[in-house]
Amino acid sequence: MKRVYKTLKEMFDLLKLIHSLDRSMIPLYIITSFSQAVEPFITIIGNAMIIDSLLLHDWKQAMMQAGVMITGLFIFGILHSYLMKKKECASMAINRKCNGKICLKAISLDYATFEDKKNLEEFEAADYNVSRNGGFGMYLLELSNMLTGCFSFMFAIGFLVNLCLMESQRGTPFDFLTSTKGSLIIVTVIMVLLIFLYMRFSKYVNQNNLKLYYEMVDVNQKLGYFSNRLCSDEKVAKEIRLYHMKDMIYTEWKKFTMEAHQFLSKQWSFERLSLMTSSFLNDAVLLLAYLFVVIKAYAGAITIGSFTQYVGSIQQLNDGLRKMAEAVNQLIVKQSYLSFYIDFINKENQMDTGTLPVEKRNDNEFEIEFHDVSYHYPGSDMYVLKHVSVKLDMKNHFAVVGRNGAGKTTFIKLLCRMYDVSEGMITLNGIDIRKYDYEEYLNLFAAVFQDFALFSFPIDENIACSRDADEKRVWNVLDCAGMKERVEKLRDGIHTLLFHQMGDGVDISGGEAQKLAIARALYKDAPFVILDEPTAALDPISEYEIYSHFHEMVKNKTSIYISHRMSSCRFCDDILVFDQGELVQRGNHEALLKDTNGVYATLWNAQAQYYNDHGSEEVLPDSCI
């Protein structure tokens, strides 16, 4: 009972959602289902009347009845195809709207919530079920089938009750069976038997289908990775070719395809068996029903024309019930698919977004301090930052250095509030950053991350992150980032489209992409500028030029550079040295070098030695080769 209530509630919620997306949708489906259910009865009644007229040799009447029937079918045919087309367009529109809602939700979630593996899986499931697994269009189709079945069933019941009321005038051995009371009992028994059969089978089939669906989620996800990422993503195309990974990938793909096929075979054989069993039992009950109508006709309670009418009604009753049972079964399955969508769009952000406005200051006097901050990523209990306490004095230029995995990027992500600290606190001008309005707090930072992204939009929109870019400023920051000359030569200047996803755009090199990302950070004109490995893809001249321009542009801001090129640290006022998640040293270049055993001196010397060797080949240990 609890499950029935839950299913009905889910159905109600989905209908409410569909109604909120398109108010004409539900009335449209009700009218279509009604017209679909009525259509066969026009033929059933028409045929019965024509047969009776023909038996009475009333040709004129028969012709008229045929004319009315054909006109009725014609009108219904036109109405039906109009409604079907309208329904098709409306359901496509609703799927598009839902897709839009998924996208909007995904890009509105805070970074930590979005990055959570469970949420990413839910996003994929929601997107898959709406875009590729039928979505709301299929759900509405099943709903329409259920309604059609329901209407057919009700009309057929009306006819059968009428049949029950028709008593025989002449005495036969079947008097009880042909009496109203006996007929009602028989019709009720037949109906109960049919309903019972369909209910039992749909429940059985439904449970099994759901079980198989959940078993298939995992293999579908893996197949999705192979077909969506490995076969069509240009980012992996080079490696696949260069390292001859084609056979390895194809073998793995075949393995998962086989697994999926096995699941489907299991499902097909199960469905075949259950279909055969239910068909057999169903035909047995139908035979009983036909027998009953034959007895009624034999007893003279109905005419030959009526006989065909009641036989047709029984068929409609059976079809209606089958349609209802199948549709209910499908609705439950589809409902559970769509529940991924509902769960995803109702997902709440994990981070507290705060309400305190960030003070507007033209003098950029913002000071951030880490107070004994520790952090571990969600789903892991290993701390990647441990007890970090540091004050980022205003308008200073900081360098953050350390070995790979030391926690530098994580430190920056906490600073930009991509995640909230696990322990300790970060303050902005003395107040916990969690108390500030999240959007306003983010306005304080312009960052270029190691894995920065550019979009298939025009260059000016990539830089301004808006459709209304200030052209003069765009050219200015392009100049500072060393990209002005290159962009000037492009077909449409700053309006040139990047990449090819949104049209015929241009491709740019890794270094050029990095320069555009730097230009974007400069355009934001935020009080804190953060560059995580900002010049890794740049040639030495570009690197030198960017640094010279950059220092000029950020002189009234606080800037933070993460770089493995130790020489760039020399330009910074303050260097933060991280090791295994801890802030182990802090100071300027000269002061840090004095601690000859310190991490900074070790990193510096390792790199200096490499350059001092004047191009002598670095000898790798055997184990690396």
Q: Which residues bind ligand ATP (CB under 6 A)?
A: 115, 377, 380, 384, 402, 404-410
| Residue 460 or 543 with smaller CB distance to ligand ATP | 543
Q: Which two tokens stand for residue 549?
A: 């321009």
Nearer to ligand ATP, 119 or 309 (CB): 119
Q: HSE on the CB side for 308, CA within 13 Å?
A: 15
Question: Which residue number, 451 or 468, has a Cβ lying nearer to ligand ATP?
Answer: 451
Q: Which is nearer to ligand ATP, 95 or 410 (CB)?
A: 410
Transcribe 604-620 into DSSP letters.
HHHHHHHHHTTTPPPPP
Nearer to ligand ATP, 295 or 401 (CB): 401
Two structure tokens written together for 219: 């293999």
Closer to ligand ATP by CB, 34 or 377: give it: 377
Beta carbons of 427 and 390 less than 8 angstroms apart: no
Identify which of residues 60 and 117 has a Cβ nearer to ligand ATP in the complex.
117
Min separation Cβ 589 and ligand ATP, Å: 19
* Structure tokens, 552: 């000029």
Q: Cα–Cα distances in Å, from 146 out to 19, 329, 342?
A: 18, 10, 22
Q: What six digits make up the tokens of 330? A: 């499908």
Which amino acid appears at position 75 of this protein? I
Of 28, 21, 24, nearest to 102 by C-alpha is 21
- Output 40-44 pairs: Cβ under 8 A, ≥24 positions apart: 40/152, 40/312, 40/316, 41/155, 41/312, 41/316, 42/69, 42/72, 42/73, 42/76, 43/69, 43/73, 43/312, 44/308, 44/309, 44/312, 44/313, 44/316
Contacts 24+ apart (CB under 8 A), 586-592: 586/390
Q: Which candidate, 554, 612, 120, places its Cα nearest to that of 378?
A: 120
Question: To the nearest whole angstrom, how small is the minimum distance from the Cβ of residue 115 to ligand ATP?
Answer: 6
Indicate the burial class of 487 (C-beta count within 10 angstroms; 0-12, 13-18, 19 or more).
buried
Quote the CA–CA distance of 613 and 596 in Å, as a whole number: 20
Shortest distance, position 566 Cβ to ligand ATP, whole Å: 13
Rank residues 408 and 434 by Cβ distance to ligand ATP and give the closer one: 408
> Nearest 5°: phi and psi at 582?
-115, 150
Give the phi and the psi of residue 475 in degrees, each rounded to 5: -60, -40
Query: Pairing relation of β-strands 445-448 and 574-579?
Result: unpaired
The gap from C-alpha 519 to its chain's centroid, in whole angstroms, comes to: 32
- 209, 330 Cβ separation under 8 angstroms: no
Return the exposure string of 504-515: e unless at least 16 CB atoms fall within 10 Å of the residue's CB, then b. ebeebeebbbbb
CB atoms within 10 A of CB 412: 20
Residue closer to ligand ATP (CB basis): 156 or 592: 592
Q: Which is nearer to ligand ATP, 574 or 579 (CB)?
A: 579
d(CA 183, CA 164): 5
CB of 135 to ligand ATP, least distance (A): 31
Q: How many CB atoms lie within 10 A of CB 497?
A: 20
For ligand ATP, the closer of residues 87 and 413 by Cβ is 413
**Nearest-approach distance from CB 449 to ligand ATP, in angstroms:** 10
Residue type at 190 in one-letter notation: I
Least distance CB 450 / ligand ATP (angstroms): 6
